[in-house]
Amino acid sequence: MMFLNKSHQNLLLLSLAFLLICCSPQLYKTATGEHIAVNEQVKPSPEIDTFIQPYKTRLAEEMNTVIGETSGAILKIGQGETALGNLVADYQKAFAEMNLGFSIDISIMNNGGIRNNLPKGQITLGNIYELSPFDNYLYVLELNSDNVKDLAAFVARRKILGIAGMNIVAKNGEVTEIKINGEPPLPGKTYLLAVNDYLANGGDGMEMLTLLPRKIETDFLLREILITQIKSTTEKGQKITANIEGRQKLD
């Protein structure tokens, strides 16, 4: 067996490196680019404007389509329970029950995910896209009685959720009463929670939801749910209404 001293080893390594460089494929510059800052000095392109104008017109017409009418402005003013938070949670619960085929015990919606109010009078498609601009999907999770208590404690502590199906009373941040459809949570019972995927995946500090069993993950978007429920209410000849009802009595 032949052994190379250190100088021979270095020479061999240099030779191999030279061969690799010489035999490697050559890279050629095939394109150039220029950085253009987008600011008020950039002039509109008439050609581009002409091209996109039909799409802008069609989009504007669609967004201005009236899908319902409110009897008064529905707002998300305040912490915890809001009129608009109640409405969204109610619609999410009703839609899930109708389209998934099982009863939903609790429905929650993060107030931060509601990005605009509903005006008094006509509701357009654009209003709903402004209210719910994110692609949030409907999930259904399974809770036991301890999970329900944890959820109620979070509600009392953070005051950031709209709720349907559950009533909470708290004093000085401590929950004193929980009712689900008029009854206290029962040990051994499984409760179904309708929620968006953002919260189900731990958004807004709700990491506890990531540990819960998922009964179903759907591809129903929240704004599609709202549009469907508003249209359904309108078809019945009813206006869209919502109020603060005392679902969350948080001191």
What are the residue ranges spanned by the domains of the chain?
A: 62-250
Number of Cβ atoms within 10 Å of the Cβ of 250: 17
Q: Quick one: which H or E segment has residue 55?
A: helix 46-63
Q: Which residues on adjacent β-strands are paired with residue 195?
A: 139
Under-70 pLDDT residues of the chain: 1-31, 36, 38, 55-56
Say what the pLDDT of residue 3 is: 44
Q: What pLDDT does residue 251 have?
A: 85
Summarised one tens digit per residue, pLDDT across range 123-162 is: 999 999 999 999 999 999 999 999 999 999 999 999 999 9
**pLDDT value for 161:** 98
What pLDDT is attached to residue 1?
41
Query: What is the fold of 62-250?
Result: 5'-nucleotidase;  domain 2 (3.90.780)
pLDDT digits (tens, 9 = 90+) for 201-218: 999 999 999 999 999 999
Provide CB contacts within 8 A for 246, sequence distance 6+: 81, 167
For 11-53, give the DSSP string.
HHHHHHHHHHHHHSPPP-----------STTSPPPHHHHHHHH
Backbone angles phi, psi at 161, to 5 degrees: -120, 145
pLDDT at site 39: 75
Predicted local distance difference test score (pLDDT) of residue 54: 73
Predicted local confidence at residue 45, as pLDDT: 79
